[in-house]
Structure 1
């Protein structure tokens, strides 16, 4: 069985809070250009990269204090030892370069130390991967990464090495240049890109031009071990290995066999390598992935359309001979193409219906056809196109139309499961038969062909464009389809004989405008050569013709990524239910209206990408590609929200954020006032300040800066770094202050239990673990069982048979160990059932090796708290507190949205503090929310957190009473310690050394 590899780097930095990084590593990522903001997942990618870079350069290499050059090799070894504690593989030598790989070994051994007959993997740990689904906008992340690297160099946080961007096609180079140009149109600091061939010349010129961000760009497949007209020998640009290299989809071949991969590593061996791709397959790439948002995760988190793979047999679309093509076979082809057109018509009908609620939601649906080739006789696209023409002429029996429609309807209703996510009702196509049962052929003509009647296809070309054609019916004045291939001349001469051809003098490209909802084109056809380098929201139907051989796995995933993008509202890239759940007010309003109209089925249709393959093997290749993607993710464990025997109302505080704060309202800034004043005066011109601090400054902020320096608002320190101080002060002037506003019901603020997964666990072990989880989850708390039984007996609901069933259940539960331990490989975890916990079971890691589990309780103080609480409940039973009910939950700060704001004086900004646990207690109308944080008193920032907590929830030093929903609510904060005497007198009320005090607040 093949060994599973996990993204270890992502694990390594998972629990690092990016806001805890030093000031010189502090960045804001919101804006990309005047019209573009980064989405949350793009910002998360950059934060992950920043955290790992800080760990590598500051924590491991101790840059800039250390002798940097001499410490690199030891640093790489140290990093390898650190990640190897997570058991990256059982036999680490499979990661090494062996002498058996003769050509690779010979090249690499000139630059790396050989140990035995191997070059150890630790030599190549100075790298990180960004595994980002096609359509997720990784180009924007790359450009922002370039900006960040330049700023870190300027701040002295990382070495001042050159930046090189490599990708493997000219159109992808054009794409990144286009993104850079857009960035430059907004940013006062410009990125200048240079051809790597001109490296020596440009380096000389740059001695006199250091204000811009200078990067070099080249085709990755043209880096070689020899020089030619376009080929560049890696040795000619080796530069002592001091490059920051950014690779975009440049991993051709595998790292063990591809010479080019070694060239990139050699060039960056004393720098750093950043690897971006939608499809990582190699061990090195997966292990060093620092951010994983591959197609599965992208879709699961709501950022893309759900994916549905049809099992319809489209084999008749395979190559044929025109002269011997039978009537039966022609009818079969009509049925196949018709099924795809009916599916498109259904989605377009859903779109039109949804548009009656708002004209600005979703996208105008499109069918995307990928053919294996357009060059050979009887090419895949030609077959589809000819059949498209036959259907347009209405050469189709009404019985065949109804047969095709019903075949599609039956499949969607009887087999509605998407390929990603769990097999649950929420992860299935919500298809309403009545919405589409009355669909007619005339609807297909109108919705797909843009015509009110049948007609012959007419071909339209443009003078300037030799790669595209458009098609329309003679009965319509609107295009309905386009083809994009290498050269249309051959098609016009060989395959479109007999068609009327006209020329449009105003259009230069049908394809360039296709993402616009006003584009009339509903079908886009092309060969596999154009599957990368562009993004559309519009594809809802994707047809693969004769694709399923060779490197189909990667190709299929990349192609699907072209159609998975979703944008239900302008510039909002999540499915509308997720947007609504995440608190987007516009999405909530529209989603509510759509629900009232019972349009959930229509939403499901337009938020789905329907995939068709030409035959069983083709579909198998598609599913194998998707299966491969799924296998690279951790197995989500079967942890579920608790079904309580009562109905708790769980409330959370809501904070009001005031953005434009008067200067007097801002907390005092900690800095060196004299140094700041001298530094600002030295720069003189406000435009110079703005240019140097454009990542945090606006023109309005610069005006506030001078007023703030003239007021008594700075708490003086002896800080000596003027650049960083001013950067932080400008950021401070933009600080938003949060106030307590109201309470709300808990909805999706605690979700981490849905993400608990085990990396590298076998299917058998996963099943065994899930069985244990189910057993522990079903353990019944004896107090509640006794109380429930009593109520049922009194009300007459329970018979003798029921009583026997309860008795049998209790006997079964009594045989389950408590606590329950589970071991796999070197990992050991503990499963605990505390009936009042928000989800069950609670999972604790016992051994260090249990880091293969995500979102479980690992910190020693938190584990001790759970054990103490479990013991206290078992001993005390809580009967004396006479509570109506109580509930508590773990909070995972990395993913949950439950926090207390506070002002961090060290960082000079507002931050969110997430205690480890939250308790809810109710007795009558008295309601208490208690935040509990097991932590050491050595963390002095607890004073700042307690101070702001007091500002929000206390009056005159006592808990403030809030009235909400008929409750009298008070909020408490307790930190747990075993040494209260070490705490300052003013803060002792926030510390407890026994569990009882939590329940004594009511």
Structure 2
């Protein structure tokens, strides 16, 4: 599994599955339930996470219980790191003899393959489960196997045939989870100290840009659950006698930055912004050149701040000081291994977390005594007997720490949402699995509504948020970065940096002046509308089918094709209702409400019970009879699960019914303007790997052909403008097939069905001018998450809005969605049923207009344009007659006159 993809939650899920299903006469009684971790830090982390999930757990050596006290519940997970296991227990140390656990255990192993290289560890794990069961979890198994070593081959043969769940980083990233990443590395160059410091300065500027965006757009960052940025520097060496330690290199840079001797910082910032950084790509182009395809530090450049102002702001916002000052290294006596960083008398801005803080400080002190280095270093050493661990508090909201410096100890056992910039020194020269672990420290992302997804995968409504959702990785040693990239590629990760080419949209102002109307409502006002669940609401019963689906199709000329196994409807009666744990059911529904963010609906245990007591008036339940008439206690649990399913579906239907009622009462028409969500993106962004020079050059040529491209007079081999002069903005972009997998467009370009619809609509309009003699037609692409939304129980953003505006100032709005229908619920699909429910909305709108004294009339219609053929849809819709499709406003793109059919049905 990808690091950061929820491996810990999968452990929780597997544990809960075991507890749920390990019942009855075949129940397995294990000696213990154990979780074995690679180290003590990770054990503490697992304990904290299990507490949040309300899973009973205890740590080996916990003084409250003693060493796995006999008073612990048999379902308690006992957490121990592999280093504390032994089969030769002597004395009273912290180790524990595996004999104490027995051999019949349920064992969860975190990063289990890591101990496989030690025969002893492998023996311990196998001995603990010789009569039990073992489940192992790993974020780095793929890298360990891919190493090509003899040990890797052994791992492959041991684990390769027993993988239950594979969710490597490639799938994790492509599904929209976690941060994007950028890697800056100058290949095959020997770094002088000056170049190293300049690269660190670029790293610092990148971090400051994220910090500035975070502070300037705080409200928006909170909507997307963005944590305050943190700059992390990791190195492998701390106290080498023969060379400067990695950590000391960073300290040297920070001292140099704070001293700013001879305006070193300001002059270098100026050089960077002017494209004279001296940091060149493989073709010899300065990567900060204004002509470089991707504008690095774009937002900082556009801020209008001078290099002097940027330096001053960095001192304030990152280093908590107002001017140049010595760098203090302060030994935190109450936190082993921690050295705080501050400027003069300012607040702590950073922390070094290493194993031997005393030795490291001795090394620094010796450097400071050397007259040849003392002047350059600008360092002071101090101690603090009062403060406690800064590292442990780094994730709290009131932490002042902006910079974290450490060694490999961070690779395991540390979890943070804050990491946004990484500087790496000598990491990953030989161990691929450590590289992926390291990568996982920075890609973790909460996302909007805790979706864990990037904004571009949810709504893409901001140009600033993606900057904060990007992990910037800066390498100081080129000899390991190639290997770093190799292991990422092996994981399925595209590691070449990507550049973005903007293509701005041009809105037709004359169309905006047409005062086109668009429906809207205030969702925040609905959230303030409080209502209570009604057990006796008159609405269609919710349908629950707990049988396996068995459909038999017969092809004939009847109106519909129906042949389905008849399943009896069941009702849950009072004797069984009285057996249920209604408090448990109530809390399950409260949790469901919380997940849905439905904080404006209230219900009680009595209300929920009332729904079930209404029987088939509230629900239609199809299930085996033994579910509603349990003969054993285990059967009662199964009935409770069925009741929870019924109530969730009832609650969802009721909530959305109430929302629909509220929307119809509070819906209003507003004039389309440039503030509409469909125009919020301002430009298409084409993202391409920086090595795809042919594509980059071809797309950049569009800038010189801009006017022709906007009018649809020219394309290139990669992009086309699906030009239609009645569309409200230009261009309407779509990919061409050539190398289309090598670049992406945001917002997404038109797909083939959408392209075909626009082209067919244009052709019909050009061929039938008499149809639109007294009617003006306008079209707008309706963007997901940003445009006009309809819903019953799911959100629906039709792809296009068409306005037909007549001379009498009446307007007819058509919402059209070209889509495949093979995976729908037939005529019961909500997107198809919109063609009927939209008429209620139309009536409500016109009633409001009349009350306002307006003579304007508005009509609404909805159409689905199927890109799937009728023949393919027969098993789904069970119908052969065209009239049934026509009644439900389903048009088929395979019919050459489908556009004519659409207009004929409304004129």
1:274-293 to structure 2, matched below 5 A, reads 274-277=166-169, 289=171, 292=174
SS at structure 1 position matched to 2:858: strand
Partner of 2:92: none
Cα RMSD between the aligned structures? 6.7
SS at structure 1 position matched to 2:144: coil
Partner of 2:414: 534
Alignment check: 8 A CA contact 2:336 2:357 kept: yes
Task: With the length of structure 1 as denominator, give the TM-score of the two structures.
Answer: 0.57
Alignment check: 8 A CA contact 1:172 1:533 kept: yes
Distance 1:528 1:932, change over 3 A: closer
Partner of 1:251: 142
The one of 888, 900, 913 equivalent to 2:790 is: 900
Distance 1:203 1:870 in 2: 76
Is 1:525 aligned to 2:405, yes or no? yes
Partner of 1:885: 777
Distance 1:290 1:357 in 2: 25
SS at structure 1 position matched to 2:305: helix
Distance 1:291 1:921, change over 3 A: farther
1:799-838 to structure 2, matched below 5 A, reads none
Alignment check: 8 A CA contact 1:167 1:173 kept: yes
Partner of 1:476: 345
Distance 1:960 1:384, change over 3 A: same
Partner of 1:911: 794
Partner of 1:184: 54
The number of aligned residues is: 755
1:496-511 to structure 2, matched below 5 A, reads 496=365, 504-511=384-391
1:543-582 to structure 2, matched below 5 A, reads 543-545=423-425, 547=426, 550-551=429-430, 559=438, 562-563=441-442
Is 1:631 aligned to 2:494, yes or no? yes
Alignment check: 8 A CA contact 1:884 1:923 kept: yes
Distance 1:405 1:636 in 2: 22
Deviates more, 1:718-727 or 1:871-880: 871-880
Alignment check: 8 A CA contact 1:483 1:524 kept: yes
Deviates more, 1:334-343 or 1:172-181: 334-343
The one of 237, 241, 248 equivalent to 1:373 is: 237
Distance 1:417 1:857, change over 3 A: same
SS at structure 1 position matched to 2:860: strand
The one of 298, 302, 308 equivalent to 1:437 is: 308
Distance 1:613 1:733, change over 3 A: same
Distance 2:886 2:844 in 1: 13
Distance 1:467 1:832, change over 3 A: same
SS at structure 2 position matched to 1:434: coil
Measured after TM superposition, the shift of residue 393 of structure 1 is 9.4
Q: Which runs of 5+ in 2 are unaligned?
A: 58-73, 86-96, 279-285, 370-378, 545-568, 595-601, 628-638, 893-897
Is 1:514 aligned to 2:394, yes or no? yes
Distance 1:528 1:953 in 2: 64
Deviates more, 1:741-750 or 1:337-346: 337-346
Distance 1:767 1:434 in 2: 30
Distance 1:778 1:426 in 2: 29
Partner of 2:282: none
Partner of 1:669: 542
The one of 671, 681, 703 equivalent to 2:578 is: 681
Measured after TM superposition, the shift of residue 476 of structure 1 is 1.7
**Deviations 1:313-352 (Å, cap 9, x if unpaired)?**
99444xxxxxxxxxxx9xx998887887788778778877
Partner of 2:646: 729
SS at structure 2 position matched to 1:675: coil
SS at structure 2 position matched to 1:953: helix
Distance 1:341 1:935, change over 3 A: closer
Distance 1:618 1:243, change over 3 A: closer
Task: With the length of structure 2 as denominator, give the TM-score of the two structures.
Answer: 0.62
Measured after TM superposition, the shift of residue 509 of structure 1 is 1.9
Is 1:491 aligned to 2:398, yes or no? no
Partner of 2:815: 930
The one of 690, 696, 717 equivalent to 2:592 is: 696
Alignment check: 8 A CA contact 2:394 2:401 kept: yes
Alignment check: 8 A CA contact 1:225 1:234 kept: no
SS at structure 2 position matched to 1:511: coil
Is 1:982 aligned to 2:898, yes or no? no
Partner of 2:332: 461
SS at structure 1 position matched to 2:165: strand
Alignment check: 8 A CA contact 1:885 1:923 kept: no
Is 1:403 aligned to 2:286, yes or no? no
**Deviations 1:395-435 (Å, cap 9, x if unpaired)?**
x644445434534554599978799x984799765443535
Distance 2:209 2:499 in 1: 34
Alignment check: 8 A CA contact 2:350 2:402 kept: yes
Distance 1:339 1:779 in 2: 39
Distance 1:777 1:555, change over 3 A: farther
Distance 1:341 1:975 in 2: 52
Partner of 1:63: none
SS at structure 2 position matched to 1:725: helix
Deviates more, 1:704-713 or 1:333-342: 333-342
SS at structure 2 position matched to 1:696: helix
Q: Which runs of 5+ in 1 are unaligned?
A: 1-128, 207-213, 278-285, 318-328, 592-599, 786-808, 823-828, 903-909
Partner of 1:594: none
Measured after TM superposition, the shift of residue 522 of structure 1 is 4.2
Measured after TM superposition, the shift of residue 726 of structure 1 is 0.9
Distance 1:536 1:153, change over 3 A: same
Measured after TM superposition, the shift of residue 995 of structure 1 is 2.1
Distance 2:5 2:412 in 1: 12
Alignment check: 8 A CA contact 2:230 2:403 kept: yes
Measured after TM superposition, the shift of residue 460 of structure 1 is 1.9
